[in-house]
């Protein structure tokens, strides 16, 4: 009788173990399917954005909507959506940085520019979940961040953002404070990596703009740190 009970317990344990493995396997399949769906959605948004480029003025509303969707996905409260969107944008296959630089140069719409700079901010410094990233994942994130900055420099991002900053100081400027902050923050990240940053600043005569902003915003912590990082990079040369 006792042996029978022991055998029953062992059988139950084996069955439970099989069930756990089966459920785990199903979860992996489900997660893989979800990832494919998310990737397909992100790729579709980027492809539609690319198709709008040749006639960007005529497609301004479409561009605005597509960028808003990308920004919503990359800042989503759902970690999986956020991570899959980041992975797609980080991929060199889609040349998203080049697309963004073309749009920033051609477009003066605050909403479009804010969404692009907001997306780039996330690509450089992704939101961290409450659970700390594991070593390999954290290393990948840092590497992708450095690659994003390198691509910005490669596709003329330094000049694009410096020109945006110059435009923000014009008397007829309608650039929002949020956009100015994002532009300064991105420039502060570029300044630390672009060895020609001081030269580009001098050629575009932007040094006075930085001094003006520092003078008028030294009490604003959001602007102060980016400005100090930028001025530190300029002072090195």
pLDDT digits (tens, 9 = 90+) for 17-61: 654 554 455 455 566 777 888 888 999 999 999 999 999 889 999
Query: What pLDDT score does 6 carry?
Result: 46
Query: What pLDDT score does 220 carry?
Result: 86
Query: What pLDDT score does 82 carry?
Result: 93
CA distance 92 to 183: 23
Q: Is the pTM of this model over 0.75?
A: yes
CA distance 37 to 51: 21
CA distance 141 to 19: 35
Range with the largest mean pLDDT of 152-156, 176-180, 222-226: 152-156
pLDDT digits (tens, 9 = 90+) for 56-109: 889 999 999 999 999 999 999 999 999 999 999 999 888 999 999 999 999 888
162 pLDDT higher than 80: yes
Per the structure block, which two tokens stand in for 8?
A: 């029953």
Query: What pLDDT score does 177 carry?
Result: 86
- Average pLDDT of the chain, as a whole number: 84
């Amino acid at each position: 009788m006792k042996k029978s009970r022991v055998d029953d317990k062992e059988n139950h344990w084996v069955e439970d173990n099989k069930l756990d493995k089966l459920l785990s396997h199903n979860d992996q399949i489900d997660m893989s399917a979800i990832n494919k769906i998310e990737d397909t959605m992100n790729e579709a948004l980027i492809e539609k954005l690319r198709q709008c480029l040749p006639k960007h003025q005529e497609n301004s509303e479409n561009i605005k909507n597509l960028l808003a969707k990308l920004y919503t996905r990359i800042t989503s409260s759902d970690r999986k959506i956020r991570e899959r969107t980041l992975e797609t944008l980080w991929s060199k296959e889609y040349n998203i940085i080049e697309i963004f630089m073309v749009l920033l140069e051609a477009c003066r719409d605050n909403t479009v520019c804010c969404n692009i700079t907001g997306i780039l901010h996330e690509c450089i410094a992704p939101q961290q979940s409450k659970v700390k990233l594991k070593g390999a994942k954290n290393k990948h994130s840092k590497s992708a961040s450095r690659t994003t900055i390198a691509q910005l420099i490669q596709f003329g991002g330094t000049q694009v953002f410096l020109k945006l900053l110059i435009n923000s100081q014009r008397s007829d400027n309608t650039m929002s404070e949020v956009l100015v902050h994002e532009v300064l923050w991105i420039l502060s990240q570029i300044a630390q990596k672009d060895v020609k940053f001081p030269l580009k600043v001098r050629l575009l005569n932007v040094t006075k703009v930085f001094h003006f902003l520092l003078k008028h915003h030294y009490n604003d912590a959001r602007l102060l740190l980016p400005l100090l990082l930028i001025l530190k990079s300029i002072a090195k040369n």
